[in-house]
Structure 1
Amino acid sequence: MFYLGEPLTYSKFQLKNRLVMPPMATAKSDEDGRISQDILDYYDEKSRGGYISLVIIEHSYVSQQGKANHNQISVAEDYLVEDLKKLADIIHGNGSKTVMQINHAGSETLREVIGMEPVGPSPVKNPSRKDTAIPQELSKNDIERIIDDFKHAAVRVKNAGFDGVELHSAHGYLLNQFLSPITNKRTDEYGGGIEGRVKIHSEIIRAVRKAVGEDFPILLRFGATDHMEGGITTEDIKTAAEIFERAGVDMLDISGGMCRYTIPGVNEPGYFSPQSEAIKEVVSIPVILTGGIKTADEAEAILREKKADLIGVGRAIYRDSNWARNAMER
């Protein structure tokens, strides 16, 4: 049986226990995306003692076009690497490993944030955020540029000393917009069936892998349900998971898609456990499950039932910086 304190050893990513702090946006960076002292202090407090095996840093934008909100962390320029190193060093000094999540917001942003018109796979309004406009459809040249933006951002993450990089394809952001049939109405090779809708993912994964090398872990946050009519299906997510693993992903981090990080009316711990279970049936890489897990007993129950390999505890750790210590020392 699995327990929260058991090491993860059957992965490229060796972890001392099964507890993960998932990415949660703080809006604490400087306006230009630089790492602020507030960011350093926040992650220092959360990771102190090293009780969390893996800290995944909140989403950071790969280009100005992909910025989601004001005061979001940036990985869009080389000059940011030195400040990012400070963040990795603090978490390592506390005894935890850390991964940085990189993201392009696509249509889930506003002109006032990015200074240009938002873009998406198709000119379809994003259902995950009510105040957004209909985006401009990306051309194939635009897609090639975005793939390069992810690749360069991943290299910056590696150069800053992080232990891996996570690609964000959940919560209604750009890669999730390609993944979901709700927002992807393309008729070229980047649309249609699930193989087409994840083509951009495969190309990003392969580009990142070539740039960072075989030993640097690549994670992918996977919006595995839209919980909306016409959304992604269970068969879709199983096929997509297999494609991601073949392309080079080392770990899948399961969350919501167009429904974002909750499911209306679902209050049981592990909101997305049906999806994580389905994905675990078809992949050999570790699977992280996050959503509504408030106690160590709830986390251990999910591990024992083999619904996931790792447990992300977000809001409980956000509210109580001693949560991880109390869970591991009980």
Structure 2
Amino acid sequence: MAHVFDPITIRHLTLSNRLVMPPMATAKADENGCVTDAVCSYYWERAKYSKIGLIITEHSYIHLQGKAHPGQTSLASDDVIPSLRRLTDGIHREGVRVFAQLSHAGTAALSEMTGQPPVGPSPICHPKQQKELPAEMTRQQIRQVTEWFARAALRAKEAGFDGVELHSAHGYLLNQFFSPLANQRSDEYGPQSVENRTRIHREVIQAARQAVGGDFPIGLRLGGCDYEAGGSTVEDCVEACRIFEKSGVDLLHLTGGMNGFVRPGHREPGYFRDLSVPVKQAVRVPVLLTGGVTTLDQAETLLGEDCADLIGVGRAIFKNAHWADGT
């Protein structure tokens, strides 16, 4: 049975313990997406006091087309690397590892933010963005996005991150392809099968792996279930995670889909265990569970019940870097 402060290895990277700070947006980057003193101070404080083995930083856009909101961090160009290197150096000084989350907002991106029309798997408005009808992406555009993810992964490596996490959750682009609620294509990327719905993910994983090499961990955060009629299901999630493991993913991070980071009717610690438990039974790579965990005892219980290999503590750490001490 695993315990909170047991080490764990992801690919060739060993974490000092099994507590993870998951991605949560600070919206404190500058207008070019470079991290600021405020961003650095926020993460450095949590690395120092939160007793975590891994930080996954807030989602960084891989191209301006996929920028979700003001103050979002960027991995879209080489000029952000020096500021990110300063961030990662400070986290490493505290003995904590750090992954960068790579994101494209897809249909959730507004032209007033990006200067470009929104795009996605199908011309369906995002639940939280009803102002502009997105255009259906062509195969060429899908290939371009795949290349953007790969370049962003390499920039993260050059900026000193210990790994990357591909953002396929909370209704962003990769999650939109996975969800039948957002994907009504008729081609090989369409909703006819989980294999089709994860095709873009496999292409992104392959391109990122070619960019960063064999020793650099690649994780994937999956919005595994939409908790809505006609949406993705727990069974879809398990099948997809098997596919991702075969494609070379080193860490699977389970959360909600098009509905965001909530599970309707559930607020108990580890409320996405309905996803993590069957996935953990189906794969051999480490599985990360987040959702509603606010104390060390809760994390220890979830590990003891074999719900996951790592436990994410989100809002408690966001609000208080000293959460583990109860101060």
Which TM-score bucket, shorter chain as reference?
over 0.9
Matches within 5 A, 1:167-182: 167-182=166-181
Cα separation, 1, equivalents of 2:26 and 2:130: 20
Query: Match for 2:138: what amino acid?
Result: S
Indicate how the Cα distance of structure 1 residues 246 and 37 shifts in structure 2: closer, same or farther if over 3 A, else same: same
Equivalent residue number for residue 37 of structure 2: 37
**What is aligned with 1:147?**
146
Q: Is 2:204 the counterpart of 1:204?
A: yes
Deviation per CA, 1:48-78, whole angstroms, max 9, x where unpaired?
1572100000000000101000110010001
Residues in 1 aligned to 2:298 and 2:51: alpha-carbon distance in whole angstroms: 17
Q: Secondary structure at the match of 2:244?
A: helix
In 2, are the aligned partners of 1:169 and 1:222 still within 8 Å (CA)? yes
Distance (whole Å) between structure 2 residues aligned to residue 130 and residue 82 of structure 1:
33
Q: Percent same amino acid at aligned positions?
A: 50
Q: How does 1:73-88 map to 2 (within 5 A)?
A: 73-88=73-88
8 Å contact kept, 1:50–1:96: no
What residue in structure 1 maps to residue 218 of structure 2? 218
Query: What is the CA–CA distance in structure 2 between the aligned matches of 1:132 and 1:41, rounded to whole Å?
Result: 35
Deviations 1:248-287, CA, capped at 9 Å, x for gaps: 1000011110111111221111121011111112110000
**1:217 to partner: Cα distance:** 0.1
Worse-superposed segment, 56-65 or 233-242: 233-242
Match for residue 67 of structure 1?
Answer: 67
TM-superposed CA distance for 1:83, in Å, is 1.1
The letter for the 1-side match of 2:86 is K
Distance 1:130 1:63, change over 3 A: closer
Separation (CA, whole Å) in 2 of partners of 1:107 and 1:59: 16
- Seen in structure 2, the aligned counterparts of structure 1 residues 93 and 226 have a Cα distance that, compared at 3 Å, is same
Aligned partner of 1:54 in structure 2 is: 54
Name which of structure 1's ranges 221-230 and 2-11 shifts more when overlaid on structure 2: 2-11
Residue of structure 1 equivalent to 2:117: 117
Which residue identity is paired with 1:207? A
| Structure 2 match to 1:246 | 246
C-alpha contact (below 8 Å) 1:220/1:253 kept by paired residues = yes
Equivalent pair of 1:108/1:132 in contact (CA under 8 Å): no
Given that 2:288 and 2:310 are in contact with CA atoms closer than 8 Å, whether structure 1 keeps it comes out as yes
Q: Unaligned regions of 5+ residues in structure 2, if any?
A: none
Question: Which position in structure 2 is the counterpart of 1:269?
Answer: 269
Partners of 1:9 and 1:75 in 2: CA distance: 26
Q: TM-score of the superposition, structure 1-length normalised?
A: 0.96
Residue deviations 1:153-210, cap 9 Å, x none? Answer: 0000000111001100000000000010110111111112110010000000001001
1:243 alignment partner, SS class: helix
- Which runs of 5 or more residues in structure 1 are unaligned? none
SS at match of 1:107: helix
Letter in 1 for 2:197: R
May I ask how many residue pairs the two structures share in their alignment? Answer: 326
Structure 1 counterpart of 2:186: 187
Distance in 2 between the 1:52 and 1:234 partners? Answer: 29
